[in-house]
């Protein structure tokens, strides 16, 4: 309320603020008299409530900075590319994840009532959250376990419920001794729902990260069950003869190809493209017919980035030559842009799909695959040095910026990037192909075309 700009404020948490006690309050700048009325939009309050739970000590400074900036720029929170907004959203997201994990991994142990005593059943649990989420999650447990008394102890505070009052305390709680036969119950339950044929270790580890294992009685079964499941799957694979893929000869050809021309000079786009032909950085290459590298002038001012080659592109070895490419070409033509002035490429250079009968069904590349393939995209960016980059779809946006926000938040506006480059985001043409409602499809195609009209102006 005294209008102090963020850079003049140093934030400390109580743990490290000892030296501040005894600080002379009178030296603090006083708010204007009468103090200004401060109002702020509800979306900031919601965001701040989540961010404040994070254990990052910079959260107060970040929120104050955001709040301060909000007074001058009311639409700030909608600017997903803003550094502070993105950082706050990221913190809120990890608080959300921690919240979810706590609701899933708290294991209550019953504390038996004293002999002859009657009353509500009592339970205790120990959990180790990453963030200060106990107060935030407590109402969830109150709703869920309303007919029992419980205490959840954590190193970041505790919560308890006795049927009347939900109490939350910020003090670190001591770890209770919780060994008892309920562990066996959990283990039996977990073993009985475990299906080795459905085992996806990566997904399981993402859902139930190792750090939670020590407080989950069932977790000690996991390594054994994984080992056994792998053995079972291997055995099944050995027994099952599989047919070669109908286009396997193309894979063989690509692998055996001996260059007939002299190798291109090192450090050129042609050399990188040649090297990418034998890329095995991720598993997608196993199924794809060939690497589909970017194409276009090596000094193009504009680079267009899609997601990954589709069925047609995989067979042709060129980007955007299938149905999505047709939509893309039409938009370019209407905007008056010649495709051969652009460098057109994809975030991922191999076609990822699932064989279904004779069809190959497109599968979205995961973030790990996109990160692996970024190795090629970065080299393309470095060598082509485009001034304007068009990201078509969320995968391209992520590959180029690491951002995972809604396209709607960043679409159709030029965004300044490092080295004076400009980024322009639009939807992926395959999204347009998937729209069922005809009216909506028409509208969305028109918007896509308008985006390319904007691209033309930017060019």
Secondary structure (DSSP) of 291-316: ----BS-TT-SEEEEES---HHHHHH
Q: CB of residue 391 vs ligand URA: minimum separation in angstroms?
A: 11
Q: By beta-carbon distance, which residue lies closest to ligand URA?
A: 306
What pairing do the DSSP bridges indicate for beta strands 422-426 and 414-416? Answer: antiparallel
Q: Which residue from 98, 295, 313, 451 is in contact with ligand URA, where contact means CB under 6 A?
A: 313
Of 121-129, 179-187, 306-314, 375-383: span binding ligand URA (CB under 6 A) = 306-314
Question: How many chain residues are in contact with ligand URA, going by CB under 6 A?
Answer: 13
Q: How far apart are CA 91 and CA 75, in angstroms?
A: 20
Residues 6+ apart with CB under 8 A from 341: 296, 297, 300, 301, 302
Complex with ligand URA: residue 150 or 343, whichever CB lies closer:
343
In degrees and rounded to multiples of 5, residue 216 shows phi and psi of -115, 115
322 binds ligand URA (CB under 6 A): yes
Residues 6+ apart with CB under 8 A from 208: 104, 105, 216, 219
- Footprint of ligand URA on 429-448 (CB under 6 A): 430
Q: Site map for ligand URA, 255-294, x if CB under 6 A? A: ----------------------------------------
Q: How far apart are CA 308 and CA 350, in angstroms?
A: 6
Q: How far apart are CA 344 and CA 328, in angstroms?
A: 11
- Footprint of ligand URA on 343-382 (CB under 6 A): 346
Q: Please say whether the beta carbons of 418 and 454 come within 8 A.
A: no
308 binds ligand URA (CB under 6 A): yes
Complex with ligand URA: residue 137 or 279, whichever CB lies closer:
279
The verdict on whether omega for the bond into residue 455 sits within 30 degrees of 0, i.e. cis, is no
Of 70-78, 91-99, 192-200, 314-322: span binding ligand URA (CB under 6 A) = 314-322
Of 212-220, 258-266, 279-287, 300-308: span binding ligand URA (CB under 6 A) = 300-308
126's enclosing H/E stretch is: strand 122-126
Complex with ligand URA: residue 217 or 325, whichever CB lies closer:
325
Q: Which residue from 324, 337, 394, 397 is in contact with ligand URA, where contact means CB under 6 A?
A: 324
Complex with ligand URA: residue 158 or 430, whichever CB lies closer:
430
309 binds ligand URA (CB under 6 A): yes
Q: CB of residue 353 vs ligand URA: minimum separation in angstroms?
A: 12
Q: Please say whether the beta carbons of 288 and 254 come within 8 A.
A: no
Of 17-25, 102-110, 253-261, 321-329: span binding ligand URA (CB under 6 A) = 321-329
Inter-CA distances, 424 with 69, 242, 301, 333, Å: 25, 45, 13, 18
Q: CB of residue 319 vs ligand URA: minimum separation in angstroms?
A: 4
Q: In what order do the strands lie in the sheet with 166-169?
A: 109-111, 122-126, 149-154, 157-161, 166-169
426 binds ligand URA (CB under 6 A): no
Structure token digits, residue 9: 């404020």
Residues in contact with ligand URA by CB under 6 A are 306-310, 313, 319-320, 322, 324-325, 346, 430
């Amino acid at each position: 309320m005294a209008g102090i700009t963020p850079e003049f404020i140093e934030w400390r948490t109580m743990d490290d603020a000892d030296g501040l006690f005894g600080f002379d309050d009178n030296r603090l700048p006083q708010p204007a008299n009468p103090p200004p009325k401060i109002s702020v939009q509800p979306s900031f309050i919601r965001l701040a409530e989540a961010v404040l739970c994070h254990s990052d000590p910079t959260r107060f400074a970040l929120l104050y900075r955001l709040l301060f900036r909000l007074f001058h720029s009311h639409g700030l929170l909608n600017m997903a590319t803003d550094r502070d907004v993105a950082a706050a959203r990221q913190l809120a997201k990890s608080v959300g994840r921690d919240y979810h994990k706590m609701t899933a991994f708290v294991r209550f142990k019953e504390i038996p009532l004293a002999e002859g005593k009657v009353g509500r059943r009592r339970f205790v649990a120990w959990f180790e959250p990453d963030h200060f989420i106990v107060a935030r999650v407590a109402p969830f447990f109150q709703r869920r376990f309303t007919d029992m008394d419980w205490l959840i102890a954590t190193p970041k505070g505790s919560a308890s419920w006795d049927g009347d009052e939900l109490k939350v305390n910020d003090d670190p709680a001591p770890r209770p001794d919780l060994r008892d036969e309920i562990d066996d119950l959990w283990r039996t339950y977990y073993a009985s729902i475990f299906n080795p044929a459905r085992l996806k270790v990566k997904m399981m580890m993402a859902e139930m990260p190792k750090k939670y294992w020590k407080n989950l009685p069932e977790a000690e079964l996991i390594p054994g069950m994984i080992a056994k499941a792998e053995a079972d799957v291997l055995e099944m694979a050995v027994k099952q003869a599989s047919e070669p893929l109908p286009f396997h000869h193309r894979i063989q050809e690509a692998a055996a190809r001996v260059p007939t021309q002299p190798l291109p000079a090192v450090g050129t786009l042609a050399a990188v493209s040649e090297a990418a032909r034998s890329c095995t950085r991720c598993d997608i290459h196993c199924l794809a017919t060939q690497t589909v590298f970017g194409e276009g002038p090596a000094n193009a001012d504009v680079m267009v980035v899609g997601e990954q080659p589709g069925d047609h592109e995989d067979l042709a070895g060129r980007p955007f030559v299938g149905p999505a490419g047709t939509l893309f070409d039409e938009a370019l033509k209407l905007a008056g842009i010649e495709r051969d002035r652009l460098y057109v490429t994809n975030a991922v250079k191999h076609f990822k799909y699932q064989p279904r009968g004779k069809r190959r069904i497109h599968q979205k590349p995961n973030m790990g695959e996109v990160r692996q393939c970024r190795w090629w995209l970065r080299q393309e960016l470095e060598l082509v040095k485009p001034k304007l980059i068009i990201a078509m779809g969320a995968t391209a946006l992520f590959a180029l910026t690491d951002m995972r926000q809604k396209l709607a938040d960043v679409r159709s506006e030029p965004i300044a990037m490092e080295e004076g480059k400009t980024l322009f985001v639009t939807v992926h043409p395959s999204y347009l192909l998937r729209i069922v409602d005809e009216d909506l499809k028409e509208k969305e195609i028109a918007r896509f075309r308008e985006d390319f009209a904007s691209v033309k102006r930017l060019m």
